[in-house]
């Protein structure tokens, strides 16, 4: 059974945008799609550690602002010919609030 922590209102993250959320277990980039789905990933692109939270969200992907690598928000996998992967975190929306899986965050922090 997961313990979910409330990190922000859905409205705090713009549609097709992102916010960097500081948790006690580390920073997580939270993305919101045009249809209000939320995804949480590490903020560093696997290519040159570009800040993914500053990238452009399109569909269920984000384009890194440094070198235009496209990263799947669902899997964290680089798309196309690029190779690499970003860690993803369980996230959901409940009653207009974005929630992250605290147990998963804790496990990643100690790993």
Q: Which mean pLDDT values do the consecutive 10-residue runs of the chain (111 residues) have? A: 89 96 82 97 94 97 97 97 94 96 79 59
Considering only CA atoms, which of 6, 8, 4 is closest in space to residue 18? 8
Cβ neighbours, 10 Å, residue 89 = 20
Report the pLDDT value the prediction gives residue 94, as an integer from 0 to 100: 96
Domain tally for the chain? Answer: 1
Q: Which two tokens stand for residue 14?
A: 């713009």
Q: What is the CATH number of the domain that holds 37?
A: 2.102.10.10
- Do 27 and 21 touch, CB atoms closer than 8 A? yes
Segments forming the whole domain that contains residue 10: 4-110
pTM of the model: 0.91
What pLDDT is recorded for position 62? 98
What pLDDT is attached to residue 25? 65
């Amino acid at each position: 059974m997961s313990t979910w922590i409330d990190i922000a209102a859905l409205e705090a993250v713009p549609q097709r945008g992102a916010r960097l959320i500081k948790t006690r277990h580390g920073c997580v980039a939270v993305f919101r799609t045009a249809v209000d789905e939320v995804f949480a990933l590490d903020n560093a692109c696997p290519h040159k550690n570009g800040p993914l939270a500053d990238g452009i969200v399109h569909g269920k992907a984000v384009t890194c602002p440094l070198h235009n690598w496209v990263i799947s928000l669902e899997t964290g996998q680089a798309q196309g010919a690029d190779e690499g992967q970003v860690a993803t975190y369980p996230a959901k929306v409940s009653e207009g609030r974005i929630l992250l899986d605290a147990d998963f965050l804790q496990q990643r922090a100690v790993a």
